Each structure stands twice: as structure tokens, then as C-alpha cells.
Amino acid sequence: MSLRGKLALPFTLWLSLFGNLRSYAQSQTSARLTGTVRDPQGQSIPQAKIQCRANATGESHSTETSEAGEFVLIALSPDAYEVTITAAGFAPSVYHGVTLGAGDNIVLNTTLQLAQNTTEITINDVQQLIQTENSELGVTLSTASLTALPLSSRNSLQLLSVTPGASTSLTNNSALGRNSPEVSINGARVAQNHYQINGVDADNVSMHDLGDVAVPAPESISELKVQSSLYDASVSGAGGSSIELITKNGGNSVHGSVYGYFRNEAFNANDPNLKAVGIDRPADRQNVYGATVGGPIRKDRSFYFVSYQGLRATNGATGDSLYSNVMIDPCLTDDRSAATLQSNCFSSQMVKPAIDPVSLALLNYKLPDGKYLIPTP
């Protein structure tokens, strides 16, 4: 018998406030930019000024090169940056669109040209930035990937199955709820993964999954980063892989989105077992809707970002659809005697086999309400 119901899952409200207080230590949720500054002859340029400004939030970091012409900027929030490098007697160099992700350690080496009047060199096509400070293996899914790739239950963790080295079972599209997959990465056990949201442990202590906390909506996630092996000591608690969700934050301009997703059984193929006994596709209708908005509280200082998502669903595709209509042999009736079972179930056989006593007892076992434990079709 089909189960029909209308479920309303509690909405998840994600509110992130980012102030001007910053931690000055490298963490798994921040990035680091290093490099060297040299002249056209390859000599290092000391005391060159490095200015790094985030495009969205206006966050600014600055430093100077050492005697060896080297610099390092730490605790950079994931964002696209404009990097300006200046030195006395040299034309400034400006790099646009330097994109840094969570945990990145990027090297940007620069050669400054001698100044000619007020010459400024602007570089829009940034060279391929290479992470040479560590040998970690992994992949980062950006906002574009999270919103473009199909998700049957709007759970971003399902996209872990498309990352290199990941192995997981197929997603049950008719299931309700978060429907989080159990993922094995590089052959490690599913309980060896370590989940974090914005650098905060989000593990179920026993199973190492997101069983105890809400999963952010895909539209509220900035990055989903999977580090599969060779990560450094900043990744704590992971015996297999580290999975980090970074939520979006506001910026100096107000931005937002409204979205809605609809699914109906008319677009689904029928289950082959149901089709075999002439049963139509069970109801499977889901409406997912939500909105996001972010902006400044104080320009270049503090920001807000709010995400809301709701779900309404009607689902008749339950296990009962199979057990009551498909998995029970049609020869089973309310008469459970051995003679009747032999006559109904083995009518085409000349020599009818004996029925095992244990099986016969199980078929005749009744529940307290008087109904058979194993029902008739």
C-alpha cells in the first residue's frame, strides 16, 4: 500500500557576519600568497610594497619584501584579489583576478620593469598560479559547479561522488531528507572522513558524517573542498580525507538570488519491479525553494549573508510499494496449510516438494492484532 504524505522540512537559516577582526595564522579556511620580486636582471628588490585587496569585500592586506625580495601574505579569505606591487624606481605592476581558495598556498613571482615617466603595467590575464608549498592531493568544487551539477535532493555532499578517487553507492532519487552518501575516498573507510563547515568540526563522533548538523543549501556554499591525501598538519582529525564546506559571505554591494526546483513522477521511469506487475509509478513530487541575500553592514568592515531553503514533498515511493505488491508470491492466501500451499504454489509439478516445517511456521505466524506477519499480496 502506497504511503502518501506531505512533509515540510524545517528550514535552515544560515547567517554569517564577517567583521574586521582577523586571525593572523594560516588555517584550513584561509589562503596564503607568497612570491619574489625581481628586476629585469633577476636581482631581488628589497622593500617593495605588496598591496592585496579583495574585489568583493574590500579586505586589504599589505607587506614588504625582505632583503631577498621575498614576501608572504597570510590569512587571506577565499576571494578574487587585485594585487599591486610597487618599488622606488620601477613601474608598478597590477594583477587583476588573482583567485584564492580555502587552504590555498599560492606563489606569485614578479619582475618589475624600470620606470619610464608614469608607466604602470596592468596584467589582466594572470599567469597560471601554482601551489608549490605542499604536495596535497584534492579537488575544489566552486559555486558554479555546485549550482550547475544535478542534485536529486539538493544535498551538495552528493557531488563528492564525482571527485577523483571517490566511491559511493548510487543515490536513491525517490528518498526524502538529506540523503547524504557514504563516501570512500582512495579506498579508505567511510568513517575515516573528516567534515568541517567554515573550519569548525561538523562530524558525528562515531560515524564521521554530517548526521548531527544541517547541510547548507548549495546556493549558500562558496566552496566544497576535498583533500584526499598528503595534506599537512593544519588538517586535523582526518584519517582518510578532509571535506571542507565554506559558506558565502556578503560584500560591499547587495546581492541575492531566488530559486525554485520542481520534480514530478511524470519525468521518472517506473521501477522495473512495479512495472512487471502492472503498478503505475508512485507519487514522487518535490518542491524546493529558497533565497539568498548578502551585503554590507559597514563598508570594507563587516558584512551579512542570509540563506533560506524550504522543501515540500509528496512521496509514495516507499519500500512498502514493493513488499506488498511485488515481493509477496501471488500463490499465498489466507489458507496457510501445507496441502494448500503445495497445491497453489507447485500446481505445475508432478511431484510436489515437501514444505520445510520452519518455513510453514513462519508463514502461519500471526501478529498480536491477528494479521499474518507475512501478508497476502
Q: Which residues pair with 127 in a beta bridge?
A: none
Query: What whole-number distance in Å separates Cα of residue 251 and Cα of residue 233?
Result: 31
Q: For residue 160, is pLDDT > 80?
A: yes
- SS3 sequence, the chain? CCCCCEEEECCCCEEEEECCCCCCCCCCCCEEEEEEEECCCCCECCCCEEEEEECCCCCEEEEECCCCCEEEEEEECCEEEEEEEECCCECCEEEEEEEECCCCEEECCEECCECCCCCCEEECCCCCCECCCCCCEEEEEEHHHHHHCCCCCCCHHHHHHHCCCEECCCCCCCCCCCCCCCCEECCCCHHHCEEEECCEECCCCCCCCCCCCCCCCHHHEEEEEEEEECCCCCCCCCCCCEEEEEECCCCCCCEEEEEEEEECHHHCCCCHHHHHCCCCCCCEEEEEEEEEEEEEEECCCEEEEEEEEEEEEEECCCHHHHHCCCCCCCCCCCCCCHHHHHHHHCCCCCCCCCCCHHHHHHHCCECCCCCECCCCC
**Cell (9 digits) for 43:** 636581482
pLDDT reading at 143 higher than 80? yes
pLDDT in tens, 259-279: 998 888 888 888 787 787 777
Which CA distances in Å does 329 have to 276, 322, 348?
13, 12, 15
CA distance 74 to 83: 14
Q: Which CATH class is domain 6-15+136-320?
A: mainly beta
Enumerate the domain spans of the chain.
Answer: 6-15+136-320, 22-123, 328-377
Matching fold, domains 6-15+136-320 and 22-123: no
Predicted pLDDT at 43: 94
Report pLDDT for 140: 84
For the whole prediction, is pTM greater than 0.85?
no
Q: What tens digit of pLDDT does each residue of 32-79 get?
A: 899 999 999 999 999 999 999 999 888 899 999 999 999 999 989 888
| 128 vs 358, higher pLDDT | 358
pLDDT averaged over every residue in the chain: 80
> Quick one: average pLDDT of 354-363?
90
CATH (one of 2.60.120.10, 2.40.50.40, 3.40.640.10, 2.60.40.1120) for 22-123: 2.60.40.1120
What residues contact 367, with CB distance under 8 A and at least 6 apart? 373
Can you give the pLDDT at residue 127? 53
